[in-house]
Chains A and B, each alone.
Chain A
């Protein structure tokens, strides 16, 4: 035998072989306001949507989007998803509400919505009714509102989407997993378009107490990812929805693309119910898988939207993971956390951060990690502290990023996104 080939041959993933999947519309409701633009512009301007230690969607009024009847039939997590979805569909030029009809046969449009918890507000109300008024006081709406798939069902019913629709639940990776799932459905040719995203509305005493009991929540109420003084995550609520279409069909209907969902990678730590692998190996595996799937090298990555929860464990493990996955490139590119501006939106985070990443890539901005003053020793990446910067991209090619999402249970999901 002759010389042994030592060069690693990069596996070509499904996404690098298949027709590209474009993002043609985005919508978001976040603690920075109603609308994807509010999220992007305010975060880039250094605004923080956290008040009194929580990221609530204080500007969101369900009556702007829902009739009284629709609002009664939807837990807050579903209401937030409905608002984000309306914006995304309008942004994509799907004008079914003006009578123009959906751009594809309804049975060829899927809907995947991630949520970590589902309708916890409805669950709590039902429990209180049971305690105070007995079994007969529990509303017949309790189950259909609290079930995790209620959000996906509401979007499907509201817009007449008759393809596969379902919820994805991987705790804080749910939103990213939903988008990964949508990508695969499109690549498999199962559908022509997917309305996908994530939603969460858990700002209530039960969730506060439960996350608090885990020592996961910040006692100081400040989100400062990667900072030496970080002491936990700040809980937020919100939703984001993206419209995904294969490039051929999207171009065929004259759609404008915001960018490409170029690849997806997922892995599991198989380690602990809440703690990540300290060396970041599980998270790095998902990042590498996303790059392989997209058919890109670490050298081509211009930005990483970190999971960056502001918990001691995550930010340390994630820094290791970024170094493992990107090698020398890790020290050359900006890495920042949306959670520094809006807190941790749990099951919505992956989708909200995908929207924030795409718009940042489009405008070639590296948005900041707010609240970061002094990084912990050994957390030595360029976290873009304090203020946004122009994103450096090699001439002649679109900006490319990874968006990380890691969930309790050891679920790691990473999206590779490219500007149009």
Chain B
């Protein structure tokens, strides 16, 4: 992981994105599942795009297929950055 990007920053980006997608801010936590937040494959495609634009890393559909929770997503991004 690059020294310039912290996990906190990634968390903030993910949470802001989820809110933009329409997830309820009160429901968002690292343990929350995307299913409970009503975040679907189209939202994850958008998230991948945002992450690519922000950090220059590519997350393919197969990468995010196993992502079930907010924490899973943050950790996956942190590994790639």
Contacts and interface: CB of A to CB of B under 8 A. Distances in A.
Interface of A: 67-70, 72-73, 133, 136-137, 139-141, 144
Q: 9 smallest A-B Cβ distances: which pairs?
A: A69-B22, A140-B45, A68-B22, A140-B46, A140-B42, A72-B22, A136-B52, A67-B22, A141-B42
A38 B6 CA distance: 55
5 contacts: A68-B22, A69-B22, A136-B53, A140-B45, A144-B42
Contacts of B49: 136, 139-140
Interface in B43-73: 45-46, 49, 52-53
A341 to B, nearest CB: 36
Contacts of A67: 22
B22 A139 contact: no
B59 to A, nearest CB: 12
B36 to A, nearest CB: 14
Interface of B: 20-23, 38, 42, 45-46, 49, 52-53
Contacts of B45: 140
A154 to B, nearest CB: 14
B47 to A, nearest CB: 10
Given A72-B21, A73-B42, A136-B52, 9 more contacts: A68-B22, A69-B21, A69-B22, A70-B22, A136-B53, A140-B45, A140-B49, A141-B42, A144-B42
Main secondary structure of the interface of B (DSSP, over half): helix
Nearest to B38: A69
Contacts of B23: 69
B46 A141 contact: yes
The SS class assigned to the A binding surface is helix
Contacts of A136: 49, 52-53
B46 A139 contact: yes
A68 B19 CA distance: 9
A36 B35 CA distance: 37
Contacts of A137: 53
Nearest to B45: A140
A133 B18 CA distance: 22
Interface hub of B22, B23, B38, B53 (most chain A Cβ within 10 A): B22
Contacts of A139: 46, 49
B49 to A, nearest CB: 7
Contacts of A72: 20-22
A133 B23 CA distance: 26
Contacts of A140: 42, 45-46, 49
A140 B45 CA distance: 6
Contacts of B20: 72
Nearest to A144: B42
Nearest to A138: B49
Nearest to B53: A136
B1 to A, nearest CB: 22
Contacts of B53: 133, 136-137
A79 to B, nearest CB: 14
Nearest to A73: B42
A114 B42 CA distance: 25
B42 to A, nearest CB: 6
Nearest to B39: A69
A137 B53 CA distance: 8
Contacts of A144: 42
Nearest to A71: B22
A140 B20 CA distance: 15
Contacts of B21: 69, 72
Nearest to A141: B42
A73 B43 CA distance: 10
A261 to B, nearest CB: 36
